[in-house]
């Protein structure tokens, strides 16, 4: 471990315990799924260091406050290589890292609470140039949205300076979330400015091969491997698999639903309900899937009720709304509310015969080529059955009768 020496209000002891020449983890890479293909982002290193305090700049326009509650707490800092080229790539990269850390259980990834933080280094260069421009580090970006806004603003600011023939100062800048702009905070130091030297109070950290091998053997299935398995095992599209593996709790919920659906299951239907109806409710209520008002067990029952024809997709949405109140069993809701789908062919034929007899003129028009009237007959049949008729059977019987 080394001491990184600098004076700033959020560091009362005047130095920060860090790792300079010998980080605990070396190079690596992360793969991102972008709209135009896969993108590889290099990781320079991961080192351990001591957290500083938190400077709060937006409580008062005239003052900066310092919160020392987290000062001295250990953290891991991931240093990325300069491979990211747009705010979208940065957003995808942060989400991917957060997902991996949640899978590993090393960080909950909550940016609002400061569990996951990112400093953004931005530089621009003339198209075709191989050398990077002067970089500026941006602080106070505590959400992915602010990160994208800060990058956009800072890149444009640097381009404007270059086009005006001015130089860019290497500095640390602060992102003002109210004005959506960056402003100068302090000049950016180089490594020699910190006067790194080995920490005399800490012994060298020795990591044995045995310890590393144990860590490797204990690593759970990570997002990329899980995505490949979901595609191979459940025949999902890459897009569907990406959504489901993006968060470990979503992946767990999905696998629980699949397991509880039994043998004769409709995986695609389950995916549609999770990523459609369930996600819509969670977003509206601002809930994580771990706080879902509908358990994986009951969603599995609901999907099976649709699959076996007990209820239609339309009725299922009504049942789903009723399930929200205390995670109710969908089977009981269907029975108590009399929502079971009408699938008796003879009963449906009687309904359709009556409708055709009452609308003979329209039946004749349909037979003469006015095919749009088919929808009219379907609507009348559904109305006559109180919306409980099996739509597929209605369609089949109408085609025969007309």
pLDDT in tens, 54-84: 888 778 888 989 999 999 999 999 999 999 9
pLDDT attached to residue 189:
61
pLDDT in tens, 34-54: 988 899 999 999 999 999 998
Give me the residue label for tokens 């970006």: 141
pLDDT attached to residue 152:
95
Cβ atoms of 46 and 77 closer than 8 Å: yes
pLDDT in tens, 120-134: 999 999 888 889 999
Report the share of the chain in percent with pLDDT over 70. Answer: 99
pLDDT attached to residue 8:
85
* pLDDT, average across residues 195-212: 92
Structure tokens at 58: 């937006």
Confidence of residue 190 (pLDDT cuts 50, 70, 90): low
Global pTM value:
0.79
Q: What is the C-alpha to C-alpha distance for residues 25 and 178, in angstroms, rounded to an integer?
A: 37
Burial 15-37 (b: 16+ CB within 10 A, else e): bbbbbbeebeeeeeebebeeeee
Burial 368-396 (b: 16+ CB within 10 A, else e): eeeeebeeebbebbbeebeebbbeebbee
Give me the residue label for tokens 């987290």: 70
Q: Which DSSP letter does residue 200 get?
A: T
Compare 154 and 360 and report the one with higher pLDDT.
Answer: 154
Q: What is the C-alpha to C-alpha distance for residues 201 and 254, in angstroms, rounded to an integer?
A: 49
pLDDT in tens, 301-343: 999 999 988 888 888 999 999 998 887 899 999 888 887 877 7
pLDDT attached to residue 251:
97
pLDDT attached to residue 330:
93
Compare 141 and 271 and report the one with higher pLDDT.
Answer: 271
Q: Which DSSP letter does residue 275 get?
A: I
Whether the pLDDT of residue 188 is over 80: the answer is: no
CATH 1.10.10.410 in the chain is located at: 345-401
* pLDDT, average across residues 259-264: 91
Q: Which fold has domain 345-401?
A: Arc Repressor Mutant, subunit A (1.10.10)
Compare 366 and 46 and report the one with higher pLDDT.
Answer: 46
* pLDDT, average across residues 152-159: 95
């Amino acid at each position: 471990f080394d001491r990184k020496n600098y004076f700033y209000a959020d560091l009362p002891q005047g130095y920060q315990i860090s790792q300079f020449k010998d980080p605990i983890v070396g190079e690596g890479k992360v793969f991102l799924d972008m709209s135009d293909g896969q993108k590889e982002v290099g990781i320079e290193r991961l080192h351990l260091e001591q957290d500083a305090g938190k400077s709060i700049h937006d409580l008062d326009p005239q003052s900066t406050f310092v919160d020392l509650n987290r000062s001295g707490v250990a953290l891991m800092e991931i240093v990325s290589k300069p491979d990211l080229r747009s705010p979208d790539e940065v957003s995808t990269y942060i989400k991917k890292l957060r997902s991996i850390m949640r899978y590993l259980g090393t960080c909950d990834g909550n940016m609002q609470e400061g569990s996951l933080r990112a400093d953004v280094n931005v530089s621009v260069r003339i198209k075709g140039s191989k050398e990077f421009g002067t970089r500026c580090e941006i602080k106070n970006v505590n959400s992915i949205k602010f990160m994208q806004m800060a990058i956009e603003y800072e890149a444009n600011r640097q381009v404007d300076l270059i086009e005006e023939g001015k130089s860019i100062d290497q500095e640390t800048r602060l992102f003002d979330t109210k004005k959506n702009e960056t402003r100068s905070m302090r000049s950016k130091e180089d490594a020699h400015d910190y006067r790194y030297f080995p920490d005399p109070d800490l012994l060298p950290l020795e990591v044995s091969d045995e310890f590393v091998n144990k860590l490797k053997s204990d690593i759970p299935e990570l997002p990329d491997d899980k995505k490949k398995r979901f595609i191979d095992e459940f025949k999902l599209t890459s897009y569907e698999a990406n959504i489901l593996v993006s968060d470990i709790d979503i992946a767990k919920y999905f696998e629980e639903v699949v397991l509880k659906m039994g043998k004769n299951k409709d995986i695609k239907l389950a995916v549609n309900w999770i990523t459609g109806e369930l996600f819509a409710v969670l977003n509206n209520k601002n809930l994580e899937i771990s706080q879902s008002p509908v358990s994986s067990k009951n969603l599995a029952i609901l999907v099976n009720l649709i699959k076996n024809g007990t209820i239609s997709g339309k009725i299922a949405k009504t049942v789903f709304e009723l399930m929200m109140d205390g995670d109710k069993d969908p089977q009981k809701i269907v029975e108590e509310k009399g929502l079971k789908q009408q699938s008796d062919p003879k009963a449906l034929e009687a309904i359709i015969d009556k409708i055709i007899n009452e609308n003979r003129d329209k039946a004749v028009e349909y037979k003469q080529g006015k095919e749009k009237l088919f929808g009219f007959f379907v609507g009348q049949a559904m109305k006559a059955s109180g919306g409980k008729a099996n739509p597929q059977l209605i369609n089949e019987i109408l085609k025969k009768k007309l």
